[in-house]
Amino acid sequence: MKSARRTAMVAGLLALFSLAGSVFLLRRLDQLRPAGTLEDVLYLPSPKALKRLSLGYDGLMADVYWTRAVQYFGSQHAAGSRHFELLAPLLDIATTLDPHLVVAYEFGSHFLTVKPPNGAGMPQHAIELVKYGIRNNPDNWKLYYDLGFIYYMDLKDYAGAADAFAQGALLPGAHPWMKVLAGRMAEHSGETQTARLMWTATYQETRDPNIRANAGAHLRALQVDEDVTALEALTARYHEKTGQFPSTFADLEKAGMLRGVPRDPLGHTYKLMADGRIEVREPDDFPFIEKGTPPFYTPPRMPKFLPDDYAGKR
């Protein structure tokens, strides 16, 4: 009996240690093969062949490829890579296997279009992907929204965008702002306002955490751009009046041009520079801003998304 207990103890310890060891080795293996699973894509580049090979389990395979697409994008993005060649084929395969995988079209419309390092920089491919999605899901207004989004944001094709929003607005269940957007496109005026409306819509409607974080960052960037533009207009006026730039925001307050010290969307105060320019305190916190950065500022290789964008209200 005693020897049996000893055997059990040895076996138990062995099982525990090897469990720990196997997890450690798995992590090493994952590091060793960063794109391990993705190499498989290259060997079976034809989505149609893959559909046949998946023996009728194409729904499951689609999910697998969709996960691979997200993983691929995430890992390349995190590594600061500028290469996203596999994103398009992965999304193509996922949507061929399951044409109703709407989230994949949405993902593609955002991350296939934007230039590296924030996306693959392939807006034409993204448009084809979303159009394929519309053919297969003609009743889904969100796909028209995605299409319009690409036309507007990346191609500046207002006619195309207006068309997409107008078509989508006719569908049952379409959000009311689809009509508004169609109108805005026709006027193509007030670009910042339109952009803000679209990013807000995306932020509220999407359920994908990456897209939501991206939209949140864009919204903050729009706010900063707007603030900086307005504040720099004030310092210019002050300069006109007094012949010198204000040294603090208090000077502007005394001149009755401002109430309080202005703050950026993250609650930090703006910096007032000697030449009247306005800068944000933490430019790294605001990817996508076009104004308010110090001269010769280079953004970090990987845009910094804030965690509360992911956990944000649904």
Partner 1 sequence: MNMRVAHIARNTFREAVRDRVLYNLIAFALLMSGAAILVGQISIDIERLVVVNLGLTAVSLFGMVIAIFIGIGLVSKEIDKRTLYTVLSRPVRRWEFIAGKFFGLAGTLVVNTLFMAAGVFAALLYVSRHFQHSDGWIMVALYFIVLQFLIITALALLFSSFSSPLLAAVFAFSLFVIGSFAEDLRGFAAMTQGVTKWLASGAAYLVPNFSALNIISMVAHEQGVSRQLIFYNTAYALIYTTMALSGAVLIFERRNLK
Partner 2 sequence: MRPPGCSLSLRPQLLIIFYSDIASMAAIEILGLEKTYHVGFWRKKPKCALKPLHLEVEDGEIFGFLGPNGAGKTTTLKMLMGLVFPTGGSARILGMEINDPRMKAQIGFLPEQPYFYDYLTARELLNYYGQLSGIHTDRRKISEILERVGLPKDGDVQLRKFSKGMLQRAGIAQAILHDPKVVFLDEPMSGLDPMGRREVRDLTEQLKREGKTVFFSTHILSDAEALCDRVAIIHQGTLQGVGAVADLTASVQGKVEIVWQGNTVPASIRGLGADCHVTGDTVRAVIAEVKQDAALEALRRERLRLIALVPVRTSLEEYFMHKVQDAEQAAAVRV
Q: Which is nearer to partner 1, 33 or 52 (CB)?
A: 33
Q: How do strand 278-279 and strand 271-272 relate by DSSP bridges?
A: antiparallel
User: Which residues, including other chains, have CB under 8 Å from residue 198's CB and lie 6 or more apart?
Assistant: 149, 152, 153, 181
- The string of DSSP letters for 92-144 reads HHHHHH-TT-HHHHHHHHHHTTSPTTSS---HHHHHHHHHHHHHH-TT-HHHH
- The string of DSSP letters for 141-175 reads HHHHHHHHHHHHHTT--HHHHHHHHHHHHTSTT--
Q: Which is nearer to partner 1, 11 or 233 (CB)?
A: 11
131: how many CB neighbours lie within 10 A of its CB? 14
Structure tokens at 92: 């193509």
Q: Which stretch binds partner 2 (CB under 8 A): 1-9, 117-125, 173-181, 223-231?
A: 1-9
Q: Which is nearer to partner 2, 2 or 314 (CB)?
A: 2
309: how many CB neighbours lie within 10 A of its CB? 19
What residue 15 binds from partner 2, partner 1, none (CB within 5 to 8 A, per partner kind)?
Answer: partner 1
Structure tokens at 156: 């500046």
Helices 102-111 and 123-136: crossing angle in degrees, nearest 10, is: 160
Q: Fill in the per-residue mask, 90 to 129: x = in contact with partner 2 (CB under 8 A), - = not in contact.
A: ----------------------------------------
Count of residues in contact with partner 2, rule CB under 8 A: 3
The interface with partner 2 within residues 4-43 (CB under 8 A) comprises: 4
Query: Closest separation between CB of residue 78 and partner 1, Å?
Result: 11
Question: Does 1 participate in binding partner 2 (rule CB under 8 A)?
Answer: yes
Q: Which is nearer to partner 1, 3 or 247 (CB)?
A: 3
What residue 22 binds from partner 2, partner 1, none (CB within 5 to 8 A, per partner kind)?
Answer: partner 1
Q: Which is nearer to partner 2, 2 or 259 (CB)?
A: 2
- Burial class (CB within 10 angstroms; exposed 0-12, middle 13-18, buried 19+) of 146: buried
Q: Which is nearer to partner 2, 14 or 26 (CB)?
A: 14
Question: Interface residues with partner 1 (CB under 8 A)?
Answer: 3-4, 7-8, 11-12, 14-15, 18-19, 21-23, 25-26, 28-30, 32-33, 36-37, 39-40, 43, 64, 67-68, 70-71
Query: Closest separation between CB of residue 117 and partner 1, Å?
Result: 21
Q: Among 200, 193, 101, which Cα is nearest to 143's? A: 101
List residues near partner 2 by CB under 8 A.
1, 3-4
